[in-house]
Amino acid sequence: MFYTRKETLDILEVTPTALYDFIKKGLLTKYKQPKGKGGAAFFKKDQVDSLVATRNEIKAVE
């Protein structure tokens, strides 16, 4: 299953720039629909959920 770009931004509570950094660092993989279908970006739910869990673990330690 996948989240849309907007859902991913909302779930991670990050800016588009931070999302791009996650992609560049290999923390997230961006998938795109073919251009004829809008070319929208999607992200695997398990990757996004894993980042949320990691962030929550870090916050719990602080």
pLDDT of residue 38: 65
For the stretch 5-54, pLDDT in tens is 999 999 999 999 999 999 999 999 999 987 656 668 999 999 999 999 98
CA distance 35 to 17: 23
pLDDT of residue 34: 74
Pair 51, 28: CB distance under 8 Å: yes
Residue 1 CB-half CA count within 13 A: 7
The residue to which tokens 């073919």 are assigned: 34
Q: Could you tell me the CA-to-CA distances from 37 to 32, 33, 45 in Å, in that order?
A: 10, 6, 21
Report pTM: 0.83
pLDDT of residue 37: 61
